[in-house]
């Protein structure tokens, strides 16, 4: 048996559904380290640094969030104005009372806006997309890995 035969390809389309909080769930795609590094390289811009008197590479966080949204998150469920009010500041003047529990359709642009309006959602999604247990959890029972590792992972 070879390790190469057992490992999923880095560009595989593995997805899993993870619960954030307040019933909001995200369907995420596994993002390999190589994919994340490539994304970061593509989101790097050249900016002038007065101290160095030259251009230096700087990561464009806005561009990275948008790229990450499009690649890492496939969809969501349980996202309504009411559930959003528990994870981000909501402008309730734009939501009729009878629409508080109406599902909001997933879009990459909507996710990008939500990431900008939430304090920790980006870290949650990043952890979920890079944690192999997120994608191997359906095999936990047969593998006998129900106990967490000593590091808590």
Task: Identify the pLDDT of residue 139.
Answer: 57
CB–CB of 64/32 below 8 Å? no
Gap between the Cα atoms of 60 and 74, Å rounded:
23
DSSP states along 16-67: EEEEEETTEEEEEE---HHHHHHHHHHTEEEEEETTTTEEEEEE-HHHHHHH
Gap between the Cα atoms of 138 and 100, Å rounded:
34
Paired with 59 in beta bridges are: 44
Gap between the Cα atoms of 71 and 145, Å rounded:
29
Instruction: Tell me the pLDDT tens digit for each residue of 34-62.
Output: 888 899 999 998 889 888 888 999 999 88
Mean local confidence (pLDDT), 130-153: 62
Taking only Cα atoms into account, the Rg of the chain, rounded to an integer number of angstroms, comes to 19
Is the pLDDT reported for residue 147 higher than 60? no
Phi, psi angle pair for 87, to nearest 5°:
-125, -10
Task: Identify the pLDDT of residue 11.
Answer: 61
Instruction: Tell me the pLDDT tens digit for each residue of 53-105.
Output: 889 999 998 888 888 878 889 999 999 999 999 999 989 889 999 999 999 99
Mean pLDDT score of the chain: 84
């Amino acid at each position: 048996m070879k390790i190469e035969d057992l490992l999923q390809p880095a560009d595989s389309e593995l997805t899993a559904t993870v619960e954030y909080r307040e019933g909001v769930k995200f369907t995420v795609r596994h993002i390999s380290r190589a994919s994340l590094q490539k994304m970061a390289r593509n989101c790097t811009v050249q900016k002038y640094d007065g101290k160095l008197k030259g251009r230096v590479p700087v990561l464009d966080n806005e561009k990275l969030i948008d790229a990450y949204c499009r690649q890492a998150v496939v969809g969501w469920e349980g996202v309504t104005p009411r559930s959003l009010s528990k994870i981000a500041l909501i402008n309730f003047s734009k939501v009729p009372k009878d629409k508080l529990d109406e599902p909001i359709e997933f879009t990459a642009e909507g996710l990008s806006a939500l990431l900008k309006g939430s304090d920790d959602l980006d870290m949650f999604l990043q952890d979920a997309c890079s944690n192999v247990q997120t994608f191997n959890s359906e095999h936990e029972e047969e593998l006998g890995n129900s106990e967490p590792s000593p590091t808590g992972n």
